[in-house]
């Protein structure tokens, strides 16, 4: 976790307290269409925006977390290239 940008660490904290999140799409189901994450049932993964300094939109950085309830995820992955690659997040 400490290797992630400060904005990702903040998003991770927001996930654990249930928000509030800055973007409407935060917390929406992530479909894993790229099949880069372990295959799970639809609805397992949820995506959250990691703010990008000076970006005028949501940017490319995300945390994708899996598990239920969403506030206590089993696992989280970080991407800084809009789902082209992922790194597993360890607490």
Q: Which of 7, 16, 34, 47 is catalytic?
A: 47
Nearest to 59 by CA among 76, 42, 78: 78
47 annotated active-site: yes
Reported as type and span, the H/E element at residue 77 is: strand 75-79
CB count, 10 Å around CB of 65? 26
91 annotated active-site: no
Give the alpha-carbon dihedral of 26, 41, 16, 49, to 10 degrees: -30
Nearest to 79 by CA among 20, 58, 69: 58
Q: Which of 16, 34, 82, 91 is catalytic?
A: 82
Q: Tell me which residues are annotated as active site.
A: 47, 82
């Amino acid at each position: 976790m400490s290797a992630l940008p400060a904005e990702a660490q903040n998003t991770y904290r927001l996930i654990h307290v249930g928000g509030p999140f800055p973007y409407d799409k935060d917390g929406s189901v992530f479909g894993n269409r790229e099949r880069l994450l372990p295959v799970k049932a639809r609805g397992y993964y949820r995506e959250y925006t990691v703010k990008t300094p000076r970006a005028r939109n949501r940017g490319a950085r995300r945390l994708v977390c899996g598990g239920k309830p969403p506030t206590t995820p089993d696992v989280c992955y970080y991407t800084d290239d809009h789902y082209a690659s992922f790194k597993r997040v360890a607490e």
